[in-house]
Structure 1
Amino acid sequence: MIIKRVLNNNTVISTNSQGVDVLLMGKGVAFGKKKGEVLDIALVEKTFLLKDKGTQNKFTELLLNVPLEHVLVAEKIINFGKIKLGKNLNEIIYVNLTDHIHSAILRYQEGIVLKNPLRWDIARFYSDEYAVGEKAIDIVKKDLGVTFEIDEAAFIALHFVNAQLEQKDNLAYEIAEITKGIEEVIKTYYRTEFDEASLDYYRFITHVKFFAQRLLKGEHYDDEDDELLTILKNKYPSEYACARKIGEYVQANYQYELQSTELLYLTAHIRRITKNL
C-alpha cells in the first residue's frame, strides 16, 4: 500500500482498493517513511476504516498525539462493548472513548482522580454499559499498568450509552439525572424503595429514559389521549396524583409540560411498580 500521509511513527493514512482512506497503525510502521512510499504491510497491527468522514477526520487528528497503546486499549474495550451489548454503536465512540482513556491516564499520572456523583445511578440505570466500564478498568490495568478508580467505570459507561443514542449529543449524563429525579419523586410520594431486579421496575426505568430523551429534545407525543387518561385518573387516583407531581418536577426544573399521553403512560408505570405496596 502507498502512504498518503504520515501522522507519526506508528500511524499512516493510505488508500484501499476502493479508493477510500484508511488508518494503518503499528509500532514503527512509518519510521523513516514519506508520502508516496510503499508501506510494509507486515508491520501493520490495526486498520481503521470509519464510514463517516467527519468522524474519520476527528479520529485522525486525535491520533497525532495519542500513543498507539492507548488506541489499541480503547479499541479492545469497544470490541468487548459491542459483544456485551449486542447493539450498533455510533462510530464517534472511537473518538470519544480513545480521547477519554488517554486523558484519564494523563490525569492519573498527575494525581487527579475525578469522582462521579451519579456512579450508583448509572450502574442501576445502565447496568450493561456499566459492566463494560468495569471490564474496561481491568483491561487498562492489565494492558497499561494503570489502576483506575471504580468511578471511571461510570464515565466509560456513558460513552457506550451515548453511542447508542440516535442523536450525537452527549445526553447520557443528563438522562441519568432526569431519571434519578423522577424516581426520587415517586419514592418520596410513596415513602418506599423499589425492587430494582423486577421486570416492572426495568420497564419503568426504560420508559423514563426514553421520556428523558424526548424532554431534552423538546419533543412531545403527537397524539393526546384525554379519554383514557380520565379513566386511569378515576381508577388510580394516587398513581395519577404522583404522575402530576412528576409533571411539576419537570416543569420546574426543565420547563417541560407533560401532556395527557405522557401522564397516561407514567400513571400506568407507577401503578405497576407500586401495586404491591
Structure 2
Amino acid sequence: MAAQTYIISKLINNNIVFSADASGDEVILFGKAIGFGKKRGDAIPANQVLRVFRSASGQERKFLTNLVEDIDSVYIDLASEITALFEKELQTKLNDIMLISLSDHISNAVFNKKEGLDVPLDILPQIVGIYPVEYAIARRGLDLIEERTGVRLSPDEAGYIMLHYINCQGKGYRGDGKYRLLFQEKMVQNVEDYYHVTLNRSSLYYHRFLTHLNFLAARIHDDELSDSPDSLVYDLLIEKYPDLQGCIQRCDDTIHTNFSVAINSEEKGYLALHIANMLRAIHKEHSV
C-alpha cells in the first residue's frame, strides 16, 4: 500500500482494527496495541501494522468479522508469535489467514482443556513422521501457550497447529490439510521403499519436495492438473537417471489408485526432478 497510514473504520480491540486499503476495499489490521486509545477515524502508521488481511468475498468478510470480534487478544498474540516462528525457522511466508484461523483454534483448545476435554488427532504419527522439523516448532508453540495461559495442551494440539500450517500455505486457506498430508506420506513412502533409503527430513530438497506434493495434491483435489503439452524434462531425466522411471511409475500408480486420475509427463517431470535432487543430496552425504 502506497499510503503511510490507515484510517480506522471499526475498532475491534487493542490489537485488531478494520480499515480500507488504497482501493477502498475493507481490510483487517493486526498489530500490537494498534487500537489502544484509538477511535474510529484515527490514523495508524503503516509501520505499526503487523499483518493486513484482505478477505476474498463479502460472505467471508462477515464470517471473519464475527470471528475476530469473539477472540481474546491473548490468542491473537499467540497465533502471531507461532506464525512468526514458522516463518523465521523455515524461511517461508504463510498467508495472513493463519493468524485468524489459528487464533480461533487456540482459543477453543484452551477452553476445551479447561473443561477437561482433549481432542485426539488420529494422524499425529503421520505428521511427526513427515514433518518432524515443523512439528518441533509447533511443540514450541505449546510452550508459548502454556506461558501465557497457564494451560498445557496435549501433543495432539501441536498436530492441529501443523494442520493450520499446511492449510495456510499458498494464496488462501484450504480445509483439506489432512488429505494433503496423507498424500505426502504415500509419496514419500514410495520413494523410500523404491530406493531403500530414508530421506533427510531436514534437507532443503526434502522440504521442496513436500511443497511440490502439497500443491500437486491440491491440484488433484481441485481437478486442476496440468493439461500442457508433454514436457521434455521427464524424458531428459529418465535418460540421465533410468532408475527414476520405476519410482515415478509407482507414484503414478498411487495417484491413479487413490484418486482415479492420470498425471501427464509434465507432472511426472516435476516429480522426477525433485526426487533426483533428493537422491543426489543423499549420495553426496554418504560419499563425504
* TM-score using structure 2 length: 0.69
Shift of 1:169: 2.0
Paired with 2:8 and 2:263, the residues of 1 have a C-alpha distance of 57
User: Who is 1:118 aligned against?
Assistant: 123
Are positions 1:180 and 2:185 aligned together? Answer: yes
User: Who is 2:279 aligned against?
Assistant: 273
Are positions 1:83 and 2:85 aligned together? Answer: no
Q: Deviations over 1:122-148 (max 9, x none)?
A: 345445543431221011000001101
Paired with 1:161 and 1:105, the residues of 2 have a C-alpha distance of 21
1:52 to 29, 51, 54: 54
Q: Deviations over 1:55-113 (max 9, x none)?
A: 66444312333333323322332344443344333221122011110111122123222
Counterpart amino acid of residue 157 in structure 2? E
Contact preservation (8 Å) 1:115, 1:151:
yes
Are positions 1:196 and 2:200 aligned together? Answer: yes
Check 1:12–1:87 CA distance in 2 against 1; reply closer, same or farther (3 A cut). closer
Report which stretch shifted further, 238-247 or 147-156.
238-247
Shift of 1:258: 1.8
Shift of 1:7: 5.8
Paired with 1:227 and 1:129, the residues of 2 have a C-alpha distance of 31
Check 1:83–1:171 CA distance in 2 against 1; reply closer, same or farther (3 A cut). same
Paired with 1:115 and 1:139, the residues of 2 have a C-alpha distance of 20
User: Who is 1:68 aligned against?
Assistant: 73
Contact preservation (8 Å) 2:181, 2:214:
yes
Contact preservation (8 Å) 2:127, 2:135:
yes
Task: Give 3-state SS (helix, strand or coil) of 1:50's partner.
Answer: strand
Q: CA RMSD in A?
A: 4.4
Contact preservation (8 Å) 2:234, 2:268:
no
Paired with 2:136 and 2:92, the residues of 1 have a C-alpha distance of 15
Task: Give 3-state SS (helix, strand or coil) of 1:108's partner.
Answer: helix
Contact preservation (8 Å) 1:239, 1:267:
yes
| Structure 2 stretches lacking a partner, 5+ long | 1-6
Contact preservation (8 Å) 1:119, 1:154:
yes
Task: Give 3-state SS (helix, strand or coil) of 1:253's partner.
Answer: helix
Are positions 1:106 and 2:111 aligned together? Answer: yes
Paired with 1:227 and 1:64, the residues of 2 have a C-alpha distance of 50
Is the radius of gyration larger for structure 1 or structure 2? 1
1:144 to 121, 145, 149: 149
Check 1:235–1:140 CA distance in 2 against 1; reply closer, same or farther (3 A cut). closer
Paired with 1:257 and 1:263, the residues of 2 have a C-alpha distance of 10
Name the % identity: 23
Paired with 2:193 and 2:157, the residues of 1 have a C-alpha distance of 30
Shift of 1:176: 1.4
Counterpart amino acid of residue 175 in structure 1? R
